[in-house]
């Protein structure tokens, strides 16, 4: 993981701990978002060849098992 240096104006120096936590939360959110997008791309890769009925059927099947996978990855 790489480091990111941010210069705070003097007016915000007293809020450094809160700002550090907010930035950590933002980074965690972005990691989860990227993983979720990659997962959705993987799931939808073959969707163009499927009918609407097939999409509904497979969508229901995916919902049953994917929650566990997403939870394991820390996305839920």
26 in any annotated domain: yes
Q: Model confidence over 6-65: pLDDT tens digits?
A: 999 999 999 999 999 999 999 999 999 999 999 988 877 876 777 888 878 888 877 877
Reduce the DSSP state of residue 68 to 3 states and report it. Answer: helix
Domain housing 62: 13-72
The CA–CA distances, whole Å, from 33 to 51, 60, 76 equal: 28, 22, 11
Q: Model confidence over 31-41: pLDDT tens digits?
A: 999 999 999 88
Q: How many domains does the chain have?
A: 1
CB 37 within 8 A of CB 29: no
47 in any annotated domain: yes
pTM comes to 0.56
Q: Which of 10, 1, 8, 38 is nearest to 22 (CA)?
A: 8
Residue 67: pLDDT band with limits 50, 70, 90: confident
């Amino acid at each position: 993981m790489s480091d990111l240096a941010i210069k705070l104006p003097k007016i915000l120096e007293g809020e450094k701990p809160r700002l550090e936590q907010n930035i950590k939360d933002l980074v965690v959110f972005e990691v989860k978002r990227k993983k979720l997008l990659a997962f959705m791309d993987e799931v939808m890769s073959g969707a163009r060849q499927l009918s609407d009925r097939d999409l509904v059927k497979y969508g229901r099947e995916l919902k049953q098992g994917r929650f566990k996978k997403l939870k394991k990855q820390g996305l839920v």
